[in-house]
Amino acid sequence: MKTTTIYSLLLVFCLTVFGTISASGQQSLYFNVVQYGAKNDSSKIATGPIKKAIDAAVKVGGGTIYFPPGKYLTGPIHLKSNITILIDAGAELHFSDNFDDYLPMVPSRWEGTDVTNFSPLFYAYKAENIAIRGRGVIDGHGKKWWGYSEVTVKTSPGSTWQDEFHRLNKDILRPDLPGWVEKGFLRPPFIQPMHCKNVLIEGITIRNSPFWTVNPEFCENVTVTGVTINNPHSPNTDGINPESCRYVHISNCHISVGDDCITIKSGKDRAGRKMNAPAENYTITNCTMLAGHGGVVIGSEMSGGVKKIVISNCVFDGTDRGIRIKTARGRGGVVEDIRVDNIIMKNIREQAIVLDMQYAATKPEPVSERTPAFRNIHFSNITAETNQAGFLNGLAEMPIENISFSGLEFRAKTGFVINQSRQVAFHNVTVNTASGPSIKAAEVHDLEIDGVTSRTPHANTPVVELNDVDDAFIYGCFPKVGTDVFLKLNGGKTQNITVNGNNFRHVKTPVQKEEKLESLKIDPNQP
């Protein structure tokens, strides 16, 4: 009995001691910025006290930098390994709009070009296990940045900031076309971890970014979840732009911005090809997007390649475009293995779906490392109310390849336009247009149309129009009552057209051929 009692007392003592050590150890990992001199009434800039708190945490191997409720005025915050920034509910971080606060300039990337530039507002370089989280607000006060870059830089002879930029960037690999790099005043991204691993951004509300908002560069294992981004109508204030990263997970975010809501990039022109760092293994899910040039966009800076991307369970309401993939001659790089599924689009001002390889006007050239490619891209289960259903625009020397659309229900002013593509398939697709065909294809090879219809057929207008299309198979279609012409064939290069297994009983003219194609033979069982 005595032995048992002694053991019991020892156990209680040990649990008490180690529990106290654990609790005190956990407590010591929190670094309250107020205790390091930060003012939570925004009466004094807190850049120094925040840095002191981070340095103190780094000395003990890392920790959580805690912002209790209040308003803080700060310059740039540089994260180190094993540092979490915790912005509590009721806390607001207001970033200074004094450009000098973002000096000295640091290694950065700007629209796919590696530069030395103003420090991002949140910045990390070659760090691991970093996080920015909480229910608080961070405000970039971007208005002064926008005005200076869009107005002052264009009219003034120069500035000390531009002089410093040019001094530090004499030998950079510039984009093919001159632009902002030559002007030398590049607004900083809001959040830019570079060459980092295990990055978490969670729960916070972000507003008024000077430039791109969340912009991981060359990072691995990035999670952005539960984040709200509100930027007004403003230049280049994209929402989430992970560039040249691996294993990126974006979920449960709400985004309304001045440019694209979410954009995937991998470097621009020669600099992007030299780095050869693709964007790969991304998942984007359960997000809502309101204002923005595009809901989810790939490019146009994609010279390092973009591959293995899944976009699912999202709602776009009021964006200019829904899904947009864009590039141009000179970029190089390959966009491939993309899946888009379970998307609702409402009030889309331009196209619901865009694959455009001629985003910039360029002249045809021989295929080389400068030639981009789009292939293996698949869209399914999408409902859209849009101005135009879709636009596919390849290159004569490099057509878009292996694209499929399945289970689409679109209401649009105009339908799909497809140029310079091959291996394109439509399965169970309804496109109700206000005018024009549901699908209009030109210079397409290997086209499959299965179960395509329109509930709003128009007099003297085909549902499907093919111009210089080679090798098409149209089957399983059941045009609705009132359809005047289902299929119209144009172009002297149109050949190898098979029409079989359709129900044309409601159609006045199932197949219409222009005069020079009268000798073209299609399936003999069709009228």
Give the distance from CA 493 to its chain's centroid: 38
Which residues, in sequence order, are bridge partners of residue 379?
A: 340, 405
Distances, alpha carbon 4 to alpha carbons 13, 14, 16, in Å: 14, 15, 18
Three-state DSSP state, 322: strand
Catalytic one of 139, 259, 320, 356: 259
What are the φ and ψ backbone dihedral angles of 176, each rounded to 5 degrees? -60, -40
Strands 279-285 and 246-251: parallel
Q: What is the DSSP letter of 480?
A: P
In this structure, are residues 371 and 341 in contact, taking their beta carbons and an 8 Å threshold?
Answer: no
Q: Are 280 and 265 in contact (CB under 8 A)?
A: no
- Active-site residue, 78 included: no
- The reply to whether omega before 8 is within 30° of 0 (cis) is no
Is residue 74 a contact partner of residue 94, using CB atoms and an 8 Å limit?
A: yes
- Tokens coding 518: 């009268």
Contact between 468 and 494 (Cβ < 8 Å):
yes
Q: Of these residues, 293, 320, 356, 445, which one is catalytic?
A: 293
* DSSP line for 37-97: T--TEEEEE-HHHHHHHHHHHHHTT-EEEEE-SEEEEE--EE--TTEEEEE-TTEEEEE--
Q: Which amino acid is at 101?
A: D
The H or E element containing residue 126 is none
Alpha carbon distance 52, 86 (integer Å): 16
**Is the separation of the CB atoms in 463 and 487 below 8 Å?**
yes
Among residues 7, 244, 229, 262, which one has the least CA distance to residue 140? 229
The answer to whether 293 is a known catalytic residue is yes
* Tokens describing residue 338: 């993309």
Burial per residue of 44-78, b for 16 or more beta-carbon CB atoms within 10 angstroms, e otherwise: ebbbebbbbbbeebeeeebbbbbbbebbbbbbbbb
| Distance between CA atoms of residues 95 and 338, nearest Å | 37
Q: Which residues are identified as catalytic? A: 259, 293
